[in-house]
Amino acid sequence: MLAPARLSIRPSVTRPWLGQGLRLTLQVTDAEGHGLPGIPLTCLAGWGVLSARDGAEPQRGASVAIASGPSGLATIELEPPLTPPLPAAERASLASALAGLGPAGLDAAKMPRLLAGLAAAYRAEAGDALRAAVDRLHAGFAAPAASNAAGLPVIPATIFAVAEPPPPAAPVLALVTLRVVNWLGPFATALQAAIEGDDRLPALLKEMGVDQEAAQLAKNLVGATRAVAGLERGVLGQSLRDLVAADSVNRYLGENAGRFKGQTMVELARAAGASGAAISGGGLAVYTAIESARDVRQVTGLGDARLDSRIEGLEGRLTLAEQGRVTRNDLAALEQRQAADLTRLRQEMGASFDQRIRTLETDRVTRAELVGLEQRQAVELTRLRQDFSGALEPRLRALETDRVTRAELAALGQRQAADIAGLRQEMGGGRLDQRLTLLEQDRVTRAELASLTERQNAGLAGLRQELSTTIDQRIRNNVIRPGPVIRPQGPR
């Protein structure tokens, strides 16, 4: 049977901060761990939006379809479900700020200092991109305020991926669950603490006298709250500034209640302070602000023209807010459309995934089977070790006893080098060469010896010829005749 392919998902972090860019690396391999390129991959997100690029075609949505590249690798990114998505500049600014918080799950004792730094970056004059990103996240994922980072809410995000190798190999399913940490609650607490640390409004209130007339007191309270509230940047910062301003005014009124001239002044001051904070913030509180401002006009006698113009401006802002608002019916309709889309998607994928899962379940290898295979292999290895250990051990020991080591070989080489050097020294440099040269100069070669032999043979042959001719001629010229026989005489 063909060995099944394998699919793995490796996130860059498993506990990302909400809004932090997260990259996931997928890899398709064979049974031996070799990467398989060109395998179709389908990825789905249980939370958030996936983005990927397959060739030159970018994709973004709850699911993406890509193919594995070289070494069987592919990458996708997970973003918060924001529509439209954060622009690149805001996303980069937010990622840089969240990187300063360190890994999610850091010691809670260090978080207040880190969140205070993030709040300072939010309030900075050059923090427009960061403020826009934080305000978008806070509008969609606001968490309850917290005094510290302990027990931060976590959003589970499960990523599914299916690899479909060519038949007859079966599809492979992999998933990973991330825990997205929502930091907005303690951040709002840190931002509010930073705004509360701004003493400009308390300083203005402290400079106000308590013995002034009601009209002047109301005018001063409204002017002070508006002046300071307008200095805060960002939607979240302005809303928290309104809360801090209202607390400062109420604290001022409470501390000086016994010093005002009569109960009317106290009530008037409270109405003016509440309306000033509400007017600076806008929203539904404008209704209360308008009514409070009208009460102030009636009691103090402030100019109708000035107050009417302010009220008309506020009513215009309110009209614009009402025209652009999103009602609960709009939200319910969107929820219904999304539910219908999810139901249709579930039905479309249900049959396909059910069949593929059934195929995987039918052909899957269980842990028990894997453990059984491992046990059988262990038994076989033990038997093999026992069978061969008796024959191999003596031979191995004999080799170890009679082996020649590299150190011994090196020592032999050193000794031979020393012997050669000594021999060269004994031969005395050039003396041997001189002796050889003398021998070569005074030597008799085989050719010379052969030449001498030939000359001697030729001479001997000539001499033999000459002698033969001379002797023959003399013999012919001098015939030897027979004489008397002389007998030897012995003793008588």
Mean pLDDT of 253-261: 67
pLDDT value of residue 158: 93
pLDDT tens digits, 20-41: 889 999 999 998 899 999 999 9
Mean pLDDT of 260-268: 52
Instruction: Say which residue, 403 or 450, is predicted with more confidence.
Output: 450
| Contacts for 215 with CB less than 8 Å, ≥ 6 apart | 300, 301, 302
In whole angstroms, give the CA distance from residue 399 to residue 435: 50
pLDDT value of residue 278: 46
Instruction: Say which residue, 62 or 346, is predicted with more confidence.
Output: 62
pLDDT value of residue 249: 78
pLDDT tens digits, 309-350: 555 555 555 555 555 566 777 777 777 777 777 777 667 666
pLDDT band at 398 (very low <50, low <70, confident <90, very high): confident
Mean pLDDT of 245-258: 76
pLDDT value of residue 197: 87
In whole angstroms, give the CA distance from residue 104 to residue 304: 56
pLDDT tens digits, 158-170: 999 999 998 888 8
pLDDT band at 212 (very low <50, low <70, confident <90, very high): low
Mean pLDDT of the chain: 77
Domains of the chain, each with CATH number or no CATH: 6-189 (2.60.40.1940), 198-323 (no CATH), 342-388 (no CATH)
pLDDT value of residue 471: 82
Look at strands 6-11 and 22-29 and give their pairing.
antiparallel
pLDDT band at 250 (very low <50, low <70, confident <90, very high): confident
pLDDT value of residue 302: 44
In whole angstroms, give the CA distance from residue 374 to residue 442: 86
pLDDT over 50 (residue 462): yes
How much is the CA Rg of the chain, to the nearest whole Å?
A: 55
In whole angstroms, give the CA distance from residue 32 to residue 232: 60
Least confident of 128-137, 213-222, 226-235, 318-327: 318-327
Nearest to 119 by CA among 108, 103, 131, 109: 131
Mean pLDDT of 181-188: 90
pLDDT value of residue 294: 46
Instruction: Say which residue, 219 or 446, is predicted with more confidence.
Output: 446
First to last CA, the chain: 137
HSE, side-chain direction, 13 A CA sphere, residue 143:
22
Token pair of 201 as six digits:
């409004």
In whole angstroms, give the CA distance from residue 441 to residue 176: 94
